[in-house]
Structures are given as C-alpha cells and as structure tokens.
Structure 1
Amino acid sequence: MRFLSLAIAQLAALLALPAMADAPVPTKGERALHERLLTLDTHLDTPASLVLPGWSIVQRHSAADDYTQVDVPRMVAGGLDGGFWAIYTPQGPLDPASTRAARDYALRRAVAIHAMVAANPQAFALADRAADAAQIAASGRRVVYLSIENAWPLGDDPTLLQAFYALGVRISGFAHFKTNQFADSSTDMPKWDGLSPAGVQLLAEMNRLGVVPDLSHSSDAALDDALRLSKTPIILTHSGCKAVYDHPRNIDDAHLRALAAQGGVIQINSVYVKKLVQSPQRKAALDALEQRFPEDRVLSAAERADYLAQRHAIDRQWPEVRAGFDDVMANLLHALKVAGVDHVGIGLDWDGGGGVAGLDDVADLPKLTAALLHAGYSEADVAKIWSGNVLRVLAAAEAEAAREQAMAGATLR
C-alpha cells in the first residue's frame, strides 16, 4: 500500500508539471520564408571540430554519434547561411609562458578556419564587412566571419588584436569562465570591478579597428563599463535572460534595456536557458573524462575513439538531463519583449555546449523561424533577429573605425 501511495503521489507531481511545448514542424510556407532570410549565428564553436582526426566539415555527421552539431550538409538542411566562427581559448594561468602558448593556440585556431575556407571554396567564403554576408549567401556559399572568445591570448598588448583583425576577426570578447587580464568573468571572483585598465585599452582598440565588443561571459560590471565607454554598440554573442533562468551568465532586464538603449544586441543561446540538475555521478565522470582529454589538446584518432566510447558509456549509465526547445523560446521571447525586436538575435553556442531536445543541431533551425512566426512576429522582424541586428551593429563598428581613421589622417596632415 505504501508503494502504491508513493506511485500515485509521483504521478500527481508529474501531472502538475507544465507540459513541454513541442518544437513546431515548419510548414512548406514557413520553410520557404526561412530560406529567403539571411541567417547568421553569432557563436559557432565549430572550429574545435576542424582539428578532430578524420573529421570533415563537408560530410554529414550526427550529434548522437560524435557530439558535433555543425557541418555543411546540416547547415544546408537547416538553412543556416553562416555566422561568426569562434577562436576559443580555454583560460589558463596568467603567467607569460602560458599566455604566449595561448597566443599560439589562438593563431592556430584562426589558421584552421582559413584552411577550412581555402580547402572548400565552393562551400565557404570569408567575410570582412557587414555588406559581405548577403553577397556570399546569394552565391550559395556559407558566410565565415571570425570572432574571439576569451581575449587572454592577446597578453599584455591590446594592439595584437590588429593581427587578428587582419585574419578576419570582427567580434571579440574579453573574458571567459575565469577572470583574466582584461575583465572580470561572470562566473569567477571579481578582481577589477569590471574592465581592467588593459580591458579599457582593448575596448578602445576594438573601436579603432571596427571590431564589435562582446560582453558574453564578462561580469555585469564589465558590461556596465563597456556600455559607458564604447563608441559603438555592444553585443552579447551567446547569452540568456536572468528573468527566465537566474544564472550568472545571463543578464537581467535592467541590463537588457541598457543594452538596447545603447544600440546593442543580445544573441540568445541554448545553454543557460533552464536550471538543470545532473546526477553527481555523471558530473564526476565527465570531470574525469575532461582530465584525461583536456579541451586544448589535439587528440590522435585512437584517443578520439577512446574519448567517444567513454562519453557514450557515461551517457548510457547516467543520461543527461536536457532543456527543451520551449526553454530556448522562453529566453528568446522574453528578450524580445524587454529589449525589442531591433536588439535581439540568435547565437546558440553550437559545438560549445549548446543544443536542447528538439533543437539538437543546426538542421533544426527552421523550427525557430516557425516558432517566431507563430508568436506573431513578421518576416521583417524575423529577418532582423536572424541577421539584420548583428549586421547593423557590425556596420556601426565599421563606421566608427572609418571615422577614427579619418581623424587620424587629418591630424597627420
């Protein structure tokens, strides 16, 4: 009888939970509209896949098999025209030797992106300016802007950003999960109360070059500093809303409004969208796996096979608790309500921890367009969300760089 009572109580609790909204299946018309749009994601961690042994960007893979989420066939299937491909460097010690190694690591990651484009000219094209994206997409190729996630590799010389700008970097962040020499991280103890003096110099260098400042991962105080000091609009390339999920990586409504007032954009991700409690056994097993196969190490084919076998075993024994499509939409719709349609976009953190049930890889992206249309947004609105807003911000950065260059030229005369 006790068991039956417990079962009834558990069933009642389940019935009391809000139903998980299914991702909409796009109609033929909605899919056609999606294909008409210029679709850009502002945070693709896919360059990490480019160094996997035997892995090819032009072959179709499966997130269920190798945990990757972006390749050319799936970009075509999902109608993704491209975006900002991240030069991501996991934060390490701030000593000179480690920082030089980080610089070299970041440069190799940039070279890998360029090699991808050079090896597949029919599939990709590098973009330098905001106007390039539409032209590249019209040619049937995928758009490749570069971005920096974590500015640690720049060391103590913000002007090194100029070298990365020459390689195609048009968005740059400051910190990642740990506070560094440029800014406090949202997920670490503060040291600078926002941007450091070097971070202020880096921000000025971004404005001078035409690089959009990215404050995802940085603290609220760093965002406040950037909003106050930047001559161009700010972007959050992959963030969420604290009103939906109160996590340090997400931002509150006051900052959403301040970002919009400054002309900036929040790009909604698919990681910090809902509180999820994983089993302690799963966390411990994944931590141990990370120790064996650190993310900054290039694996051999045998090591990669070993990693995948162990990761699948962990998933079978302690399945992941996942967020769902409706959780991503809750963040997206809240940001649109608070900041307005001119200040929201999409940066789902593919290949960097993103993806939820119903939005497993980029092949699922038409579902977002369908959901936005069902929510009452127009084609013009959805076009802004998918690319118009980020390209406006990039164009503003270009205009400021041109203004500063003209002023410098006038001073020399």
Structure 2
Amino acid sequence: MKPLLSGLALALSLACVPALAADTVSAEARALHERILTLDSHLDTPMFFAREGWDILQRNDTAPLNSQVDLPKMVEGGLDGGVWVIYTGQRGRTPADDLAARDHGLTRLVEIRELLAAHPDTFELALTADDAARIRDAGKRVVYISIENASPLSADPSLLGFYHRMGVRVLGLVHTSNNDFADSASTPPEWNGLSDKGRALVAEANRLGIVLDHSHASDAVFDQLIALSKAPIILSHTGADAVYEHPRNIDDARIRTLAEHGGVILVNSLGSYLIDTGATPAYREEVAALFDRFGGRANMRDADWHEFDRLRAELDAKHGLKQATLDDYFAHILHIIEVAGPEHVGFGADWDGGGGVVGMEDVSDLPKITARLLEAGYTEAQIEAMWSGNLLRVIRQAQAVAEAEAQTAS
C-alpha cells in the first residue's frame, strides 16, 4: 500500500523525536541472521521500479527517490527477498475506473518482470516454496509476486489466471475502500464480507494455488475466508488488536483461529497501526484535504508523492504526532507469537508502503529483529520459521490444494 506515513515523511518527522539507543546486534545474532533464510511478505518497492533515476542496485537515500529497500540495504540487513507487491489504489468502480485499475496492475506486473529480466544474476522469480532456498543458495534475491487490492481484476476476474502464469502467488482482495470483491476494514460494510464475485475469486485462487491474503479486509471477510478457502490463508502485514485497537489489526480470537487453520500472520510495522499517534479529527481533516489537493490517493502520480510526503511531514510536526518505536513493534510481535505460536508468525513490515519505526528505519536494520528474538529465548529453528518457513509452508500448502483439485478434475 502507499504509506499513511511514507519513509520520507517518517524520516523528516523523526527529526523532532529524541534519538533512541541503537539495538546492539551481537556477533551470534548477526551470524544467525545471515545463516537463515529471511523473507518479508510485503515489499511495496515496485512503486519505484519505473521512476527515472532510481536504481535497485544502488543505495537510494536522497529524496524524492529514497526507498527503504534496495540491494545494498538488503545485503546490509541480510534480507534474502520476499513478496514484491503489485499495489493498486482503489479508484471509483465505474467501467472506466475498472479499466484504469486493470491497466495499472498489468503495468506494475510488467515493471517487476522487467526488473527480473534486467538483473538475472541478482534477482530471480520464485514460483514454488522450494524456489526460495535454491535462489538464496545461488547468491540471488528472491522475488515472489503478490497483488494488493484485487481491483485490477474487476473488469475481468479471469485475468487472475494470466497473473498466475506471470508469477503471482499471493492475492490480497481489498485495500482501504470496499471493492467489487470484499469489504475493507477501513470503510462501512457493503457486502457483509465477500460478494458473490469475491467468493468466486476465492475459489479460483484455490484452484490456481494462489495464497489468499486477508490484510486490509474486514473481520467478516476473515471469517468467510477461513470457512471457504481450502488452503490456509495469510495476513501479509497486520498487527494485534489487543496491543492497539485499530480496524486494520486483528483480535486474539481470530489469531487463534488463523493458527488452528494453519495460517500465518506477518507483522506490520506501520506506526499508526502500532500505537495511538495522537491524530486528532482536525489532523485527519487536514490530511484528507491534502490528499484531495493531489487528486486523491488512488489518482496521485508517482512524481507527486515526494511533495505530498513533505507536506504530510509538516502536518505531523504541526500536530505533534507521536512516532512508533522498535519497542512498539516488538510489543505486537511478542503478543502475536504468544497467541498464535511461533509456527504461525512472520514479518511483513510494509517497507516502502508506510512501514518503519524509530530504531528500524529500513531493511538494513532487520538483524535487530533476529537479535531480539534470540534474546527472548527463541531457537534458531523457530526464528527461521518466522523469517521464512511459515510463509513458505502456506505457499506449499496452497499449491498442494491446487494439485489435488487438478487431479480430481482430470
């Protein structure tokens, strides 16, 4: 998703926050982090791929092309890859809007495939669960592809088959507004969960072996996905409602249900979902007006985000918004581990989509997570499961369901 508070806005607003003591990453933790396979389930970095002057092989630290993910940061932070996102903002739902969303999604897919073609010795497309370790062992970075917001499929849901052939392995149904398939967690319900069209899309994702992602969808959608999906589901970037009550977070009862059905929740680091930032109605009105000034979130041009981020940071400073810290992030992580068990937890920090907290500003800081988990008493096997094994298990299970359905149909 495009950030509620982007990396640039976060960096600017952090100037008003007292510096915290840096986490110490021991030699033992660093060695463990480098040894295990590490994946993040929600990388929004593809939004940068077509921007003139941005280069994934170089550090991108200068606005407006500063990103939280690039190859040097991945190397420094020991990130082997992850799930790279085709994000489409929710426009209206007229036929013209549906065609615009279709074209946007396909364009972003092409941009990801172009990056893979341009750097075959550095990045490789992963299609199965077993591909991740093979790609990492070959010295390359892992690229799974996901769709965030199914609106590119509204005009023609059969396009999901094409996306699957082109490498998509994860599907998030909705974003911050209801669409033709499902209700969002952020808007009043329209379908009371999934629409008929959404139920059909769930069945098609199961048939293809695409993992269903609940993040951003309503609680009713969660309940229906659990009931309908023949494969476990994931929440690719979501926090704990018990730690901070927010529509985008999930309650403990549903976390337990997710675990009972073999699913995985991958913890988000977007600050406004982690803590009460102190955003007042007046602040929210000014932010809404700022979005309107640039034509709305879904219609904003990539070139406009830098100026938007700068103005958003000024609003944050004006209203004294509080910034979440690595401690706040870990409050969610540790709570979710306690509720779900380490076999059902992972990390989807929403990099380049609003993620990042004080003390963990980009992927170069990821060894701090491993260090804290080690200090908390988790074993190497448990830590690797959280970093990649749990997500890969669900990918494997989704593909097994598809294979079983194909055999039954033949």
Q: Is the 8 A contact 1:175 1:218 kept in 2?
A: yes
Give the structure 2 partner of residue 387 of structure 1.
Answer: 388
| Distance in 2 separating the partners of 1:157 and 1:185 | 20
| Distance in 2 separating the partners of 1:307 and 1:238 | 24
Per-residue Cα deviation, 1:342-389 (whole angstroms, up to 9, x for no partner): 100000000111100001000000000001111110110000000000
Quick check: 1:141 aligned with 2:140?
A: yes
Give the structure 1 partner of residue 9 of structure 2.
Answer: none
Shift of 1:129: 0.6
Q: Is the 8 A contact 1:51 1:298 kept in 2?
A: no
Give the structure 2 partner of residue 284 of structure 1.
Answer: 286
| Distance in 1 separating the partners of 2:403 and 2:180 | 28
Per-residue Cα deviation, 1:150-197 (whole angstroms, up to 9, x for no partner): 001101543221111111110101111011111111111101111111
Residue identity matched to 2:330: M
Give the structure 2 partner of residue 209 of structure 1.
Answer: 208
Alignment of 1:100-179 (within 5 A): 100-155=99-154, 157-179=156-178
Alignment of 1:189-338 (within 5 A): 189-271=188-270, 272-278=273-279, 280=282, 284=286, 287-288=289-290, 291-292=293-294, 295=297, 296-299=299-302, 310=311, 321-338=322-339
Pair 316,275 (structure 1): closer, same or farther in 2 beyond 3 Å: closer
Pair 32,87 (structure 1): closer, same or farther in 2 beyond 3 Å: same
Higher relative contact order (CA 8 A, sep 6+): 2
Give the structure 2 partner of residue 38 of structure 1.
Answer: 37
Shift of 1:312: 6.4
Q: Is the 8 A contact 1:23 1:326 kept in 2?
A: no
| Distance in 1 separating the partners of 2:296 and 2:48 | 14
Query: What RMSD over aligned residues (CA atoms) do the two structures have, in Å?
Result: 2.3
Shift of 1:284: 2.1
Shift of 1:324: 0.2
| Distance in 1 separating the partners of 2:181 and 2:252 | 25
Of all paired residues, the percent bearing the same amino acid is 49
Q: TM-score scaled by structure 1?
A: 0.88
Give the structure 2 partner of residue 8 of structure 1.
Answer: none
Quick check: 1:346 aligned with 2:355?
A: no
| Distance in 1 separating the partners of 2:84 and 2:180 | 23
Q: Is the 8 A contact 2:148 2:175 kept in 1?
A: yes
Q: Is the 8 A contact 2:343 2:390 kept in 1?
A: yes
User: Aligned to 1:275, what secondary structure does the other structure show?
Assistant: coil
Q: Is the 8 A contact 1:227 1:234 kept in 2?
A: yes
Q: TM-score scaled by structure 2?
A: 0.89
Give the structure 2 partner of residue 378 of structure 1.
Answer: 379
Per-residue Cα deviation, 1:291-312 (whole angstroms, up to 9, x for no partner): 3275544455xx6775576566
Shift of 1:392: 0.2
Residue identity matched to 1:103: R
Shift of 1:321: 2.7
| Distance in 1 separating the partners of 2:19 and 2:386 | 24
| Distance in 1 separating the partners of 2:93 and 2:398 | 30
Q: Is the 8 A contact 1:44 1:86 kept in 2?
A: yes
User: Over alpha carbons, which structure has the higher Rg?
Assistant: 1
Residue identity matched to 1:291: R
Pair 286,395 (structure 1): closer, same or farther in 2 beyond 3 Å: same
> Once structures 1 and 2 are overlaid, which stretch shifts more, 235-244 or 319-328?
319-328
Shift of 1:265: 0.4
Q: Please, which runs of 5 or more residues in structure 1 have no aligned partner?
A: 1-18
Q: Is the 8 A contact 1:63 1:361 kept in 2?
A: no
Give the structure 2 partner of residue 93 of structure 1.
Answer: 92
Pair 314,249 (structure 1): closer, same or farther in 2 beyond 3 Å: closer
Residue identity matched to 1:169: V
Q: Is the 8 A contact 1:44 1:350 kept in 2?
A: yes
Pair 321,49 (structure 1): closer, same or farther in 2 beyond 3 Å: farther
User: Aligned to 1:381, what secondary structure does the other structure show?
Assistant: helix
Number of aligned residues: 389
